[in-house]
Copies of this chain bind each other. A is one copy, B any other.
Amino acid sequence: MATYAPTEHTQVKRLAKRGVYDHEQVHAILDEGLVCHIGFTADGQTYVIPTSYARSGDQIYIHGSAASRMLRTLEQGVDMCLTVTLVDGFVLARSVFHHSMNYRSVVVLGKARLVTDPGEKLAAMRCFTNRMVAARWEEARQPTEQELKSTNVLALRLEEVSAKVRTGPPLDDEDDYALPVWAGVVPIKLQLGEPVADGRVLEGVPVFEKSRLARR
């Protein structure tokens, strides 16, 4: 089993039994998430900004306007943290103290690299698009030179990585099992609604198939 080596920064200390380092689980969490939260410090202030992302092999790509403060800061190679969290359920215990959430999260530390190779940049952008909708890159209009120029793509290598997972029922203190209180889990999932066309879709274009978003 391939694993990420815990470092001084990524060693899960509190509730160490929840710590996960193997590649397969880390990748599965990253591939299921829709947004990541990126932390960085600029002029002494720490910011946490949500953004979409895509994983390809051991690289996580983010993108945005070349003018964005976040991208301009990260391009300089400052320390950053990228976190993805999936919320799986409410955990209702018999005592207030043992209430919890089921969740899976991944924390990646490192420094971003501006993707300058045109082939890698295009491949990353295709990855963003087709991650959202299967084969969307092949049917939508692809980027112009100008659009490519105004978009920056950054890569963060999966190297200093940890995951934390809580699953399963509540764990109550033994005495509390005698209490007449309902306890268990209420699962939480993402649900896709019916696609809403924008009113200018040409006649004859097939209705969008939700199954193309089927990875979730």
- Give residues in A with beta carbon < 8 Å to B: 9, 13-14, 34-35, 37-41, 44-50, 52, 65, 67-69, 79-83, 85, 87, 89-90, 92-97, 99, 101, 103, 105, 107, 109, 125, 128-129, 132-133, 136-137, 139-144, 147, 151, 169-170, 172, 176-202, 204-208, 210, 213
Contact = CB atoms under 8 A, between A and B. Distances in A.
Contacts of A89: 193
B129 A96 contact: yes
A48 B107 contact: yes
B82 A48 contact: yes
Given A46-B46, A140-B95, A190-B189, A69 B13 contact: yes
A179 B99 CA distance: 52
User: Do most interface residues of chain A lie in helix, strand or loop, or is the interface mixed?
Assistant: mixed
A198 B183 contact: yes
Contacts of A187: 192-194, 196
Nearest to A126: B96
A35 B184 contact: no
Contacts of A79: 44-46
